[in-house]
Copies of this chain bind each other. A is one copy, B any other.
Amino acid sequence: MQRYFMTEPYEAKKQYDITGENYHHIVRVMRMEPKQQVYLVFSDRIAIIAEIVEVNDEAVVLKEVAKELSEKELPVNVTIACGFPKGDKLDLVVQKTTELGCHKFIGYPAKTSVVKWDHKKLVKKAERFKKIATEAAEQSHRQFAPDIVLLEKKLELVESFSNYDKVLIAYEESAKEGEQSRFAQTLAETSVGESILVVFGPEGGFASEEIEEFEKHGGILCGLGPRILRAETAPLYVLSAISYQFELV
């Protein structure tokens, strides 16, 4: 069943009118008709099953049938921060980390980032990522599309470390040295409801002064097993492992 994200919080109403892009999708793309049902997901993450009552030229009119009960969100809030990589790789990372339950996505200019995105480019990229994230959140039946934040300066990332309960740095050198327990250990020490920031480098990895800075601000260096993962694969590994640990085990 299709899911549509609403910009307002949930409020019990006799009917819900859908216009704009979602209207277009329901009427033109899905060609839906009265009596068919969809999920409406509100900004406060409440989701309802709604039935189409009427389709007119301006709006799709729906009525609430039931609340969606099951919890779709990861029980810990995971923020993924990626150094800007080359090309369109972040498109894939944003889509996949959204499917895998990411709470917030941060992009930042790392020391070895080759691309230089100015303010205008960052705004355009953020819009694009938000669209990708919203579509992926709808498709994966989430109650929430991750926030997208693209930073102009790495300093802002480091200064935000104190906002999280745990900060992990995915460090290739730790993996090479055979460090294989800090990630699992940190998850074991994390309670439901806590927030975790996981920082990843771009293709070129981290510079040693970045690692020093991250550690100084409380970042925990960790490896992700014995195989070297590409920059765009490591965030998927981390979110999969967190889901497995908190949702399946």
Contact = CB atoms under 8 A, between A and B. Distances in A.
B230 A139 contact: yes
Question: Mostly helix, strand, loop or mixed at chain A's interface?
Answer: loop
A208 interface: no
Contacts of A15: none
Contact of A243 (B142, B225, B230, B243): B225
Give the number of times this chain occurs in the complex, counting copies: 2
Contacts of A96: 233, 236
A225 B225 CA distance: 22
Contacts of A218: none
Contact of A240 (B99, B181, B184, B236): B236
A241 interface: yes
A125 B236 CA distance: 26
A156 to B, nearest CB: 29
Interface residues of A, number: 36
Contacts of A240: 236-238, 240-241, 244
B241 A99 contact: no
Given A140-B227, A224-B248, 16 more contacts: A72-B227, A96-B233, A96-B236, A99-B227, A99-B229, A100-B229, A141-B228, A184-B248, A184-B249, A225-B247, A227-B243, A236-B236, A237-B240, A237-B244, A240-B244, A241-B241
